[in-house]
Amino acid sequence: MTHPRIAFIGAGSVEFTQGLLADLFAFPELKSARVALHDIDAERLATAEAAARHIAGERGADARVTAHPDRRASLAGADFVINTVQVGMAEATRTDFAVPARYGLRQTIGDTLGIGGVFRALRTFPFLKGLGEDIAAVCPDAWLLNYTNPMAMNVQYVTQATGLTRVVGLCHSVYWTLRDLAELLDVPYDEITYRAAGVNHQAWVLRLEHRGSDLYPRLDELIAREPQLRRRVRMDMYRRLGYYPTETSEHSSEYVPWYLRHDSEVERLRLPVGVYLDMTDENVAAYHRTRDALAKGAPLAVEGTMEYAPQVIHSVVTGTPRTIYGNVPNHGLIDNLPAHGVVEVPCLVDASGVQPTRAGSLPPQLAALNRTYLSMNDLVVRAALDDEPRHIRHAAMTDPATAATLTVREIWRLCDDMVRAHGDLLQPSLRALLADPADG
């Protein structure tokens, strides 16, 4: 694979595309890659193309960069497909927050579980089905590297709906959690060894060592000395469950019923309700800054991101062995989680591709939380696969944070309101409004 062809689907997520390209072109073996960019937004696609050419120049790469309004044209002959699509963009995200807020339902990020996660998934599934069908038709041997959230729901859906098997979801949460822990414990990251497993945004650090010595006692001592550390959700969860979660406190608070429901916990743990709306606004502003800088010929920062996709591509192309954390169908990788669910486990990567490793059984308290997460995911996926709108309501009723806050009648009405708000973004069979059974 001398000149790998890499298709970026959703390349108009320009800032993310820039970081991935900077990482790709940092590898000498990938400087001559063929990069095919696709986006349905013409302006964003043109901006992504200009950014890609600029980054290639800055990195001294002789890559061939092409831009394609037609998705199949971008995929033709691809060896790797990187998906970063966000269906509905900022407007849909604001809807995901505004409508539940009218019911008193708090969210912080809203992209994985909760009402936000449910409807982000449902409006992404039709796109994923089309993407999977296109890959099967024009590049059946390609690896689909998915970044689009909700990660676990999307990977489960695309594998079950299309039959694709070369699919892995990539997320930086495990890597950055361990970087942060190493810094917190004043230990060089390169000197620690660790193992994590679970589900995306709710995996667990099962082993954390420095030169063979367990680092958890040192973390316990630090927490005992620093009261402010105890005002973080992930620290609170660690102290109660015995294992450190691999996602930020903002994210972690949404996947359990214990925190966002209570004013006192929101204050104690300093939870930034609705923070993703600020992040969304900043992402839009960052895009505009990049677009304007390119138009003026102004300098553009070229910074790497340490993301997994470029590392996966480099390992497959060159045979260089690496271990990453990937999201893949369980199939016995974690014994005490459902076989059909998508789990996050260490994966070996080399010329053979991405090879997940078996994690065995999780401690029972961790598996219990992960099973609830995966049960909710499964209902959302089944809603789409079975054309069953009731499963949308069943998923919301199963969601921990939603069920802790709203009555079942409120959940039913909220789902109807969300279906109305997202309208044509959902597959037709899921646009039905359902009468509350209690009214019958």
In a domain, 254, yes or no: yes
Under the banding of pLDDT at 50, 70 and 90, the label for residue 304 is confident
Q: Render pLDDT for 162-210 as a digit per residue (tens, 0 to 9).
A: 999 999 999 999 999 999 999 999 999 999 999 999 999 999 999 999 9
Averaging pLDDT over each range in 37-51, 151-165, 294-308, which range is the top one? 151-165
pLDDT at 389: 97
Taking the whole predicted model, whether its pTM rises above 0.85 is answered as yes
**For 345-384, b where at least 16 C-beta lie within 10 A, e where not — what string?**
bbbbbeeebbebeebeebeeebbebbbbbbebbbbbbbbb
Find the CATH number of the domain harbouring 319: 3.90.1820.10
Q: How many CB atoms lie within 10 A of CB 321?
A: 11
Asked if residues 120 and 150 have their Cβ atoms less than 8 Å apart, the reply is yes
The Cα–Cα gap between 318 and 208 comes to: 30
pLDDT at 403: 97
In a domain, 235, yes or no: yes
> Averaged over 9-34, what is the pLDDT?
91
The Cα–Cα gap between 23 and 258 comes to: 39
In a domain, 64, yes or no: yes
In a domain, 99, yes or no: yes
In a domain, 32, yes or no: yes
Q: How many domains does the chain have?
A: 1
Exactly one of 3, 68, 172, 394 is catalytic; name it: 172
The Cα–Cα gap between 379 and 84 comes to: 24
In a domain, 434, yes or no: no
Domain span holding position 38: 1-424
The Cα–Cα gap between 427 and 391 comes to: 14
Which of 161, 171, 169 has its CA nearest to residue 127? Answer: 161
pLDDT at 60: 92
Q: Is 251 a catalytic residue?
A: no
Under the banding of pLDDT at 50, 70 and 90, the label for residue 438 is confident
The Cα–Cα gap between 21 and 53 comes to: 10
pLDDT at 202: 97
The Cα–Cα gap between 246 and 197 comes to: 9
The lowest-confidence range among 27-31, 86-90, 314-318, 403-407 is 86-90
Helices (H), 304-429: 308-318, 364-385, 390-398, 400-405, 408-422
What values do phi and psi take at 380, rounded to 5? -65, -45
Q: Is the dihedral of CA 403, 406, 409, 414 positive or negative?
A: negative
pLDDT at 1: 63
The lowest-confidence range among 105-109, 304-308, 329-333, 415-419 is 304-308
> Averaged over 210-219, what is the pLDDT?
96
> Averaged over 218-237, what is the pLDDT?
95
In a domain, 374, yes or no: yes
- The residue among 280 and 385 whose pLDDT is bigger is 385
Strand-pair partners of 173 = none
Q: Is the dihedral of CA 52, 53, 54, 58 positive or negative?
A: positive
In a domain, 438, yes or no: no
Asked if residues 323 and 174 have their Cβ atoms less than 8 Å apart, the reply is no
